[in-house]
Amino acid sequence: LVRGMAQAAGLPAYRLADPEQVGEKIVAALAARRSELNLLGAGERSLALAYRQTPWLVRALFRRQRPRFARMMAAAGKERE
């Protein structure tokens, strides 16, 4: 989903989790009757740590990304039409 949105908006693609690995983790969590599943990668974990230390900085970084995200959402909407 995210890769397609980025491509439609003409933005560089990012390395994303392998869908098969994510599926295997979900199945394992269901089999173990876990109610939550942590699929965060190193980047997300680093961002969470940064937010705990300097929330103001992370919020500023996200504010700077709003135009990029808006382009991705607009491009995804055009593809569905």
Predicted TM-score (pTM) of this structure: 0.49
The residues, any chain, with a CB within 8 Å of residue 21's CB and separated by 6 or more, are none
pLDDT tens sequence across 49-77: 899 999 999 999 889 888 888 887 787 77
Residue 10 phi/psi, 5-degree rounding, is 75, 25
Q: Which helix (H) or strand (E) holds 49?
A: helix 42-53
Q: State the amino acid at position 13 in one-letter form.
A: A
